Structure 1
Amino acid sequence: MKRYALLCGLLLAATTAGAQGPIYVVDTLAEGLDHPWSLEFLPDGRQLVTERAGRLRMIENGTLVKEPVDGVPPVMATGQGGLFEVLADPRFGDNQTLYLSFADGTPDANRTRVISARLEGRRLRDVRTIFAAEPTKRGGAHFGGRMTFLADGTLVIGLGDGFNYRDEAQNLQNHFGKIVRINRDGSVPADNPFLNRKDARPEIYSLGHRNVQGIAFDRAGGRLYAHEHGPKGGDEVNRIEPGKNYGWPLITYGVDYSGAQISPYTERPGLEQPLLHWTPSIAPAGMALYRGDEFPAWRGSLIVTALAAQKAQRVPIDGDRIGTQETLFAELKQRLRQVRVDADGVVYLLTDDSQGKVLRVRAASRKP
């Protein structure tokens, strides 16, 4: 059985002799953030944090800068909408370029938009749109917004089905319920799977998703993983391959929030099966693939943060093979929006709250 002690403002999570799992210490790096959504590390040691309300914040020398970064475009912070991901360009040291995803528009006509911009001091300059989901939709739900880079430097963006538009996740003529892939200047890669089809949007990389909330690229194995919210049940982790159809809403392990059946099928020919699903739902929200040195026992695992379940799941993964899951951070009793891992293997968590925090997770054995 695990035991926990609160010591000098640090939460120490220890394991008894013979118990499996890591020993870690959690401390607060920053607090007072309005529903923080994404964290990014810069080469000079600074961190950037997005607040869903539309602010981009900076952490310098372990301290949250009071004033937000200037120049962020207006966002639609309604419902699940707001400012989502921040990513640094793979060549940030040379070009100081960032990428931001956010909900753009009005409650009656909105979409997920991605911009690139140059970070100059504490201001964004040369802001330009490189992707805007088509068409616009009504309502404030299911925007997706997670992004990552593939080995070739292309940018993949997870999108949502707009909640009330779920059947459109099977329609290649729009971006609802898709993962898209673009070059960093917004152009379409020449090897995208639907590029030469007149009935398809050329940016589409995969289809049949509900609401992509976590995405991670395994550079060692060359694999792209994504997870998505199910309805009531049926949260999924998938290995994403170009051109594949992941089934929503034709197949699902969940039911509607009312309890009504969405589909009688959990599998059908030509539709991909998830690597795993959580039923009942945990409401997955972020994901990282752990390859660090801080926690050797976690290497080769996906770490998936959850909102409703207020925990993270460590999912050992080898290609398409899933190992025995382990629950992490449940003792925090926090909705966990995002997880990131720095170059040393230290883990960072974002709590989803109006007074949200950036938490840092280190091995208890680490010397001060």
Structure 2
Amino acid sequence: MNKIQFLLLAFFFSSSQAQTNPNDIPLQDEVKNCSFETVANGIPIPWGMAWLPDGSLLVTEKSGILYHIKNGRKSQIKNVPEVYNHGQGGLLDIALHPNYAKNPWIYLTLASSEGEGKGGNTQLIRAKLQNGSLSAIESLYKCAPNTTKGQHFGSRIAFDNAGYLYFSAGERGDHFVNPQDINRDNGKIYRLNDDGSIPKDNPFVGKTGAKEAIYSYGHRNPQGLAKNPVTGAIWEHEHGPKGGDEINIIKKGANYGWPIVTYGIDYDDSTISTKKEKPGIENPIYYWVPSIAPSGMAFVTSNRYPNWKGHLLVGSLKFQYLELLKLKGNKVIARQKIATDIGRVRNVVQAPDGYIYIGVEGKGIIKIVPNK
């Protein structure tokens, strides 16, 4: 092999490697094919959204307020449990029971100071809504122990096709302690029955000392959780450190690696791990370097957005836009900006009416309307 042949082979090899590296997919500029309508303003940090059968909207606000938005009017739901509003913690996600007509339960995650120790930790509760007030409130799971650290509470809620409930909890800043230890809470995705009981086939049921609600572990700070409408699998995204935000497909008993493997470094530029992958650890299907600080995720199934249908939307806190990730099966094949410079996108949800709604910090709830 002569020098020219060697250089051509090296170029081909490096090019083929680059094509398989998800971080090398370019972010396309926004196509101006939609407009934005404010549905509700004056909500500082809108975290979760859920639609009631009458078409009205429930919105959680981090400080501990649960808003009810109906016919353009905004009111506050009463009897919301006190939250530990500290750092990234507060009132977090909300979801309705999949069969709400027969089981009118509303599920919420929040940072709570209940339990052992000072500070707070992530909690899952359920309640019923009666006459503008929460009632029959039940605690289904409370991560322990509490800590006064202000970071990484998670948290999102999703149901799968079998009716199991999944919720996420970040590792609370103790990344060398919590996420790899199944005997400890935090840095986990949990799976429960809808009444809070633990499914008998959860992966760590019967293991001495294990938190039996754990379904997967090795997570950093998961702030996206959604069911893939085609496969039924639960997809998750999480904040990496400085670089290395990830999208993962959640598998039973799987280890997602934090902090043993990571595509990022610490915020002081120190090395957390020199490894990006390792046998026995699930690789992400996609990662961002630099980090976009992802929050909220939604699969688009609506015919209102023909060019988006079948693809994935993710909010960016850091770069203040909505990102469309075009999918081919379980692979990301293209990226597109939506709603450039709109603000810190905290959540994105497809509503029952087929429209996409985003929660934007400092602005409130915004509806994305396709241009005709």
Instruction: Flag whether TM exceeds 0.5 (same fold).
Output: yes
Taking the aligned partners of 1:30 and 1:51, their CA distance within structure 2 comes to: 12
2:112 pairs, out of 99, 104, 116, with 104
Letter of the structure 2 residue corresponding to residue 335 of structure 1: R
Aligned runs of 1:23-42 on 2, under 5 Å?
23-42=33-52
Q: Given the superposition, is the C-alpha separation of residues 229 and 20 from structure 1 closer, same or farther in structure 2, using an over 3 Å criterion?
A: closer
SS at match of 2:178: helix
Normalization by structure 1: what TM-score?
0.90
Give a deviation string over 1:86-110, Cα, whole Å, max 9, x none: 1111122233210111001189331
- Report the counterpart of residue 8 of structure 1 in structure 2: none
Aligned runs of 1:37-76 on 2, under 5 Å?
37-65=47-75, 68-76=76-84
Letter of the structure 1 residue corresponding to residue 287 of structure 2: H
| Higher mean C-alpha displacement, 79-88 vs 309-318 | 309-318
Give a deviation string over 1:238-267, Cα, whole Å, max 9, x none: 111111110000000000000000001001
Q: CA deviation at 1:331?
A: 4.1
Letter of the structure 1 residue corresponding to residue 136 of structure 2: D
Q: CA deviation at 1:324?
A: 0.8
2:147 pairs, out of 137, 156, 161, with 137
- Report the counterpart of residue 364 of structure 1 in structure 2: 371
| Higher mean C-alpha displacement, 106-115 vs 28-37 | 106-115
Contact 2:43 2:61 in 1 (8 A): yes
Aligned runs of 1:232-251 on 2, under 5 Å?
232-251=242-261
Letter of the structure 1 residue corresponding to residue 369 of structure 2: R
Q: Given the superposition, is the C-alpha separation of residues 175 and 153 from structure 1 closer, same or farther in structure 2, using an over 3 Å criterion?
A: same
SS at match of 2:242: coil
Taking the aligned partners of 1:136 and 1:209, their CA distance within structure 2 comes to: 18
Give a deviation string over 1:60-100, Cα, whole Å, max 9, x none: 112222xx101110001111110001111112223321011
1:345 pairs, out of 343, 347, 354, with 354
Aligned runs of 1:200-219 on 2, under 5 Å?
200-219=210-229
Q: Given the superposition, is the C-alpha separation of residues 186 and 175 from structure 1 closer, same or farther in structure 2, using an over 3 Å criterion?
A: same
Contact 1:22 1:295 in 2 (8 A): no
SS at match of 1:79: coil
Q: Given the superposition, is the C-alpha separation of residues 166 and 41 from structure 1 closer, same or farther in structure 2, using an over 3 Å criterion?
A: farther
Give the structure with higher Rg (CA).
2
Letter of the structure 2 residue corresponding to residue 343 of structure 1: P
Give a deviation string over 1:199-246, Cα, whole Å, max 9, x none: 421101001000000011013211111000011000001111111110
Taking the aligned partners of 1:331 and 1:255, their CA distance within structure 2 comes to: 26
- RMSD in angstroms over aligned alpha carbons? 1.6
| Higher mean C-alpha displacement, 94-103 vs 25-34 | 94-103
2:202 pairs, out of 187, 192, 196, with 192
Give a deviation string over 1:290-318, Cα, whole Å, max 9, x none: 11111011111110001011011111224
| Match status 1:282 vs 2:289 | no
Q: CA deviation at 1:53?
A: 0.4
Letter of the structure 2 residue corresponding to residue 99 of structure 1: Y
Contact 1:143 1:159 in 2 (8 A): yes
Aligned runs of 1:83-122 on 2, under 5 Å?
83-105=91-113, 108-122=118-132
Give a deviation string over 1:26-85, Cα, whole Å, max 9, x none: 1100001121111111111110001100010000112222xx101110001111110001
Contact 1:22 1:297 in 2 (8 A): no
SS at match of 1:92: coil
| Match status 1:266 vs 2:276 | yes
- Report the counterpart of residue 5 of structure 1 in structure 2: none
Mark the runs of 5 or more structure 2 residues left unpaired by the alignment.
Answer: 1-28
Taking the aligned partners of 2:328 and 2:119, their CA distance within structure 1 comes to: 42
Taking the aligned partners of 1:137 and 1:319, their CA distance within structure 2 comes to: 40
Contact 2:50 2:58 in 1 (8 A): yes
Q: CA deviation at 1:20?
A: 8.5
Contact 2:183 2:211 in 1 (8 A): yes
| Higher mean C-alpha displacement, 310-319 vs 171-180 | 310-319
Contact 1:227 1:238 in 2 (8 A): yes
Give a deviation string over 1:130-169, Cα, whole Å, max 9, x none: 1111232231110012111111111100110111344320
Contact 1:294 1:344 in 2 (8 A): no
| Higher mean C-alpha displacement, 134-143 vs 144-153 | 134-143
Matched residues, percent identical?
Answer: 37
